Structure 1
Amino acid sequence: MVKADTFGDRQLQRFINALPAGGRALDLGCGPGNAAATMAQAGLTVEATDASTEMVSLANKHTGVTATQAVFEDIAGRATYDGVWANFSLLHATRAEFPTHLAALHKALKPGGTFYIGMKLGSGQGPDRIGRFYTYYSQEELEDHMTQAGFTITDRTLGNGVGLDGKPSDWIAVTSHA
């Protein structure tokens, strides 16, 4: 198992390195915009989105980041992105909507484009201790959904860490291609 604190930076750098120079990336659920800022500093054209107006405001304070408020249902386009970074964002989608979101992301990626997803592992769905909605999957469930959406999985890492709610949890990070 890998600890989350150092792993995320390494994964982001691997994601950036997998994209073509000046490539176009979507940071889906960008939060305060730290990953989007790192991508922009690396020379990528970044589209950053988050459902929270507060997070969009924080993300827009970073040089080179233009963030917009959007929800997963707003994912559109065909062969638009060289890469999609969904780092612990799609875990807020309901179980019923998740396959549709994955299919839209697959369609939005250019052929061979890189898709990175981080998710908490578990079962069920519902609010956490501080009221945020989560859906949990097993590794097998997540990978089945990704394969059914057309992704080819090329790497996965299991780890654990303490979330924003202060509670330790197991997680998975998966890299795949359209």
Structure 2
Amino acid sequence: MTAQDGNTLRFYATEAVAYASRGAKPNYRHLDRFMSVLPAGGSVLELGCGAGQDSEVMISQGFDVSPTDGTPEMAEAAEKRLGRPVAHLLFNDLDAVEAFDGIWANACLLHVPRVDLPGIILRIHIALKTGGAFFASFKAGDAEGRDQFGRYYNYPSENWLRELYSTVAWEDISLVADRWGGYDGKPTDWLYVMAIKGK
């Protein structure tokens, strides 16, 4: 298994139009908090941007956003919304070094197989500038598995995530548990993590 599951990628490729047109709104509570710790006009990499709603908000606030997605079809849908190029980028192809003030990974790293997640977190840490912010969200659980659409999820617990993040030198880590929706329309337990890269 690679850092992005084939069945999950195929789901987003096939459902790109439906996924992009479902009218999902950004989770402003966490997005606003993320933007508040960034320098004005700072550079932001968005991983797994989906239809581009979050990038759209950050661009409107003056940030220099580089939106990316793991499927060309979703990247194309985001391009239509944003009116700018959206790169096709798989998580394990991220090779930037100290390039971004922030990395936003909302509802995307939850698809990375548990065995591969430490390496992806390290790549993200390397891609951030010192003091840079990293946000990610995960569907909470106790064991990896698949949903009704066949998508892979790592379903971490709070303790599992804290142990994962402790393997890299973050200056500050905050983890918030909350309930939010998803593509299936069901109330879901989520874990939201924001970390700051130390010196």
SS of the residue corresponding to residue 57 of structure 1 reads: helix
Tell me the distance in 1 between the aligned counterparts of 2:93 and 2:173. 27
Q: Note if contact 1:33-1:65 (Cα within 8 Å) is conserved in structure 2.
A: no
TM-score normalised per structure 2? 0.81
Please list every run of 5 or more consecutive structure 1 residues that lacks an aligned counterpart in the other structure.
none
Partner in structure 2 of residue 100 of structure 1: 119
1:117-128 to structure 2, matched below 5 A, reads 117-128=136-147
TM-score normalised per structure 1? 0.90
* 1:21 to 2:21 alignment: no
SS of the residue corresponding to residue 162 of structure 2 reads: helix
Q: Note if contact 2:52-2:82 (Cα within 8 Å) is conserved in structure 1.
A: no
1:78 CA drift (Å):
1.1
* Paired residue type of 1:71: L
Partner in structure 2 of residue 47 of structure 1: 66
Q: Note if contact 1:147-1:153 (Cα within 8 Å) is conserved in structure 2.
A: no
Are residues 19 and 64 of structure 1, via their aligned partners in 2, closer, same or farther at CA, if it must alter by over 3 Å? farther
* Paired residue type of 1:90: L
Question: How far does the alpha carbon of each residue in 1:59-84 deviate from its partner, in whole angstroms, 9 at most, with x for none?
Answer: 11234643111111111111111001
Tell me the distance in 1 between the aligned counterparts of 2:57 and 2:25. 15
How many residues were matched structurally? 174
Tell me the distance in 1 between the aligned counterparts of 2:59 and 2:46. 11
Are residues 123 and 65 of structure 1, via their aligned partners in 2, closer, same or farther at CA, if it must alter by over 3 Å? farther
Q: Note if contact 1:114-1:176 (Cα within 8 Å) is conserved in structure 2.
A: yes
Structure 1 runs (4+) deviating above 4 angstroms are none
Q: Note if contact 1:86-1:116 (Cα within 8 Å) is conserved in structure 2.
A: yes
Q: Note if contact 1:128-1:165 (Cα within 8 Å) is conserved in structure 2.
A: no
Computed over aligned residues only, the root mean square deviation of the Cα atoms, in angstroms, reads 1.8
SS of the residue corresponding to residue 163 of structure 2 reads: helix
Question: How far does the alpha carbon of each residue in 1:117-172 deviate from its partner, in whole angstroms, 9 at most, with x for none?
Answer: 11111022232101111111111111111121222334322111332123332111
Tell me the distance in 2 between the aligned counterparts of 1:56 and 1:90. 16
* 1:158 to 2:172 alignment: no
* Paired residue type of 1:99: P
Point out the structure with the larger strand share: 1
Please list every run of 5 or more consecutive structure 2 residues that lacks an aligned counterpart in the other structure.
1-23
Range with greater deviation from structure 2 (23-32 or 151-160): 151-160
SS of the residue corresponding to residue 155 of structure 1 reads: strand
Are residues 164 and 112 of structure 1, via their aligned partners in 2, closer, same or farther at CA, if it must alter by over 3 Å? same
